[in-house]
Amino acid sequence: MKRSTVVTDDITAEISRLFDYEFDGTTTFKPLEISPIDRESVIGSEWKIGLIVGPSGSGKSTLLREFGEQEPIEWDPNKAVCSHFIDATDAEERLSSVGFNTIPSWMRPYHVLSNGEQFRADLARRIKDGACIDEFTSVVDRNVARSCSVAIKKYVDKKGIKNLVFATCHYDIIEWLQPDWVYDTVTQTVDSRRLLRRPEIEVEVVPCSIEAWAMFRNHHYLTGDINKSARCWLATWNDEPVGFSSVISLPSGSLKKAWRGHRTVILPDFQGLGIGVRLSDTIGEIHIQEGKRYFSKTAHPRLGQYRENSPKWRATSKNGIDRKDYSRPRYLHQKYSDDLLARHRDRVCYSHEYVGEAG
């Protein structure tokens, strides 16, 4: 049992009188504890993710301190978010690990980010062995909470990170975060969740008009332009728009019925759930089912690596080389500046053809 003492005054006296509550300046409370038996048999000495869940004021933060203190994060207002990491590779890997994939926002200072972006940026710097993270997903909407939980789980598994502990008042993220154990402050019990499986995400992909691009254009990291002749598709989850993809024809003397990827965007709140790679697969499948060939290029490391490892995609002769073919004469019909073309020429891109399961 713990005791706290405060100085009584006119305010405490008046509140005591109004609510008929006897108060002499002292309160006692019993902090939550995890029994030694549960520590040994359920939690163990090593785990990947542990979760403390319960309503506000139920003792989560106090219990979290049994595992360690949350690391304070400081942000330099004169530096970009991505500049707070070891190098560009570390920044890309860590920010993507929390589903924060909006490149323009990486280049902004922390204080101008949205609440959801700040939440993800803080997490990106905190995730490591033994980290303790309080108020997990408390300041973001539930779409961000789900997508961030999934992204973190993937990163923790990939990197072999151990003994992370989160505390949250939201029970709805349990199945998305897939913790090894969960302590519920309401029941004061700890349960193993090592066999918990993530819910399936069913995304519907339907043809749409080019006007749908308006809600996605500001989230494309290179340009908001789109070819007026593009074929377009809208991806929805639970009847809510989450992604957009478009293609344009690929005229070639040696290729017949060929199309290539043009614009693909997943809204920020839904990044990290794996929707992007599945959407690109679906668009490819639509084309080969129609008897067409489908090609796609990307500079995004995660999407590129997915295609490198997927039997559904076959590398082309342009895969993994810099884009020296980006020259002004060939692209006169496009509204690209000389500066943008120059930057494209030095970028290494992934280039693949979708071949489906049969390969």
Q: What is the CATH number of the domain that holds 347?
A: 3.40.630.30
DSSP H/E element including 77: none
- Residue 345 in contact with residue 324, Cβ under 8 Å? yes
Answer whether residue 359 is part of any domain.
no
Count Cβ atoms below 10 Å from residue 226 Cβ, excluding itself. 19
CATH number (domain holding residue 183):
3.40.50.300
Residues 208 and 269 reside in one and the same domain? yes
Distance separating alpha carbons of residues 228 and 151, to the nearest angstrom? 34
Residues 26 and 39 reside in one and the same domain? no
Residues 129 and 209 reside in one and the same domain? no
The residue segments making up the domain with residue 17 are 1-30
Nearest to 313 by CA among 356, 280, 358, 268: 356
Answer whether residue 342 is part of any domain.
yes
Residues 227 and 165 reside in one and the same domain? no
What is the structure's pLDDT at 332? 41
* Alpha-carbon distances, residue 217 vs 157, 158, 245, 261 (angstroms): 33, 32, 11, 15
Residues 148 and 57 reside in one and the same domain? yes
Q: In the structure encoding, which two tokens stand for residue 212, read together?
A: 């749908």
- Taking 50 as the pLDDT cut, the residues of the chain under it are 326-333, 335, 341
Answer whether residue 197 is part of any domain.
no
Residues 125 and 227 reside in one and the same domain? no
Give me the long-range contacts of 54-62 (CB less than 8 A, separation at least 24): 54/169, 54/184, 54/185, 54/186, 55/169, 55/185, 55/186, 56/169, 58/32, 58/185, 58/186, 59/31, 59/32, 59/185, 60/134, 60/167, 60/168, 60/169, 60/185, 61/134, 61/167, 62/31, 62/32
CA dihedral angle for residue 190, residue 195, residue 196, residue 198, rounded to 10 degrees = 150
What is the structure's pLDDT at 196? 66
- State which of 147, 172, 192 marks the end of a domain: 192
Q: In the structure encoding, which two tokens stand for residue 57, read together?
A: 């004021």
Phi and psi for 263 in degrees, rounded to 5? -135, 130
Q: If DSSP codes are grouped into helix, strand and coil, which group holds residue 120?
A: helix
Q: If DSSP codes are grouped into helix, strand and coil, which group holds residue 257?
A: coil
Residues 217 and 139 reside in one and the same domain? no
- State which of 146, 164, 192 marks the end of a domain: 192
What is the structure's pLDDT at 359? 56
Answer whether residue 10 is part of any domain.
yes
Answer whether residue 317 is part of any domain.
yes
What is the structure's pLDDT at 322? 61
Answer whether residue 198 is part of any domain.
no
Residues 71 and 117 reside in one and the same domain? yes
Cβ-based burial of 263 (10 A; exposed 0-12, middle 13-18, buried ≥19): buried
- Residue 287 in contact with residue 281, Cβ under 8 Å? no
- State which of 164, 192, 220 marks the end of a domain: 192
- Residue 131 in contact with residue 71, Cβ under 8 Å? yes
Residues 236 and 146 reside in one and the same domain? no
Residues 135 and 273 reside in one and the same domain? no
353 forms beta bridges with: 295, 314
- The residue type found at 121 is A
Number of structural domains the chain divides into: 3
* Alpha-carbon distances, residue 38 vs 62, 158, 187, 221 (angstroms): 18, 27, 14, 48
Residues 66 and 185 reside in one and the same domain? yes
Q: What angle do CA 200, 204, 207 make, to 5 degrees?
A: 160
Nearest to 299 by CA among 349, 353, 346, 262: 349
Answer whether residue 69 is part of any domain.
yes
Residues 176 and 276 reside in one and the same domain? no
- Residue 352 in contact with residue 296, Cβ under 8 Å? yes
The answer to pTM > 0.85 is: no
